Structure 1
Amino acid sequence: MSRRPLPTEEEARRILAQRRTKPPMRPPPRASHKLQKFIKSLDDQFGRSANSLEGRWTEIVGERLARVTRPVKIIKARGNSPGILELRVVTSGALYVQHQQQEIIEQVNLFLGAEAVGKIRIQQGPIKPLATASQPRPRSRSLPALPPLPPAEEAELEASVAHLPEPLRKALTKLGKVAYARSRDEADDPYR
């Protein structure tokens, strides 16, 4: 079997001019393009909603606005235009929220993504308190034990309320003991 001789330089140029070489492979598509539909469906189902905002509402708008506002819902607009954020606002805070609308929109868009919200609709009414772990616990109703009164002061207090009916006498006696104890504490305080 005889081998075919290699083409000359001129023949090689003519062959290459007639035939196209195989194009280089394209780079693989970006994952973001492939996952965009999937992410959009998840976003519609779970994401950009008032529920996702409510858990971090204090972080998003700040303590002052969080005390008077709650996100109700996000109304999605057609196409790619920004949506409308519906806020429930305490009646006394509505004017303040109206003046802070642009800042609220900016902060919400930082959290949800660019142009997620373009307008705010204010709904006046009562709001529920935010459920956070950092809320202070209610103070205990028990009072610290009072130091005993000197016998002379206690006798004077008992005599001043002796003519009153029983429930009122007990309440005023208790109040008088607290008042005496406080006045004594204030007298002992050199910085008062």
Structure 2
Amino acid sequence: MSEPQHDKEAEALALKRLMKHRAKPVYTPGNKLSLRIAKVMRPYAKDDGPGLPLIQRRWQDLVGPRLAKLSRPVKLTGKKEERILTLEILPSASPIFQHQNEMLKQRLAAACGGFLKDIKLVQKASTGRSATGKAASPPLSARDREEIKAGLDEIKNPQLSAALLAFGEAVYTQDR
């Protein structure tokens, strides 16, 4: 019966210690510097708002990871209420962007300081690049494939052999 009482006392003692030793916020000079710079620059950029580089840097945060993979901002034209943002999108993603046009306008207008009249969609075919930005690798030649198969002849399990063949092909195509 004394154990629950001991636990309560230990808990009360721990809470007392925690109340005395609260964590202090870490000093971050970068945040204060950016606020000072923004304060100095505000009068000079009051009609323009943030530019395209800021939107490009924050693109994934603004539209989400799914839409960020399908598009990228390329141009911001006009001044104040007449701003138009041009997006390059994949043709297959066009219906998604047309459907979410109003939601995107609201989010991007908030990021641009409330100044965004329209979003212009320009369809660009993929340039043979994958999602990571690397060029697509050429397929494995028949000779290389036969070399890999020859090395796997001793393996009796067909599933293991197929898995190792796929792995070998992936390694060979990445090394090119």
TM-score if structure 2 supplies the norm length? 0.49
TM-score if structure 1 supplies the norm length? 0.46
Choose between structure 1 and 2: higher helix proportion.
2
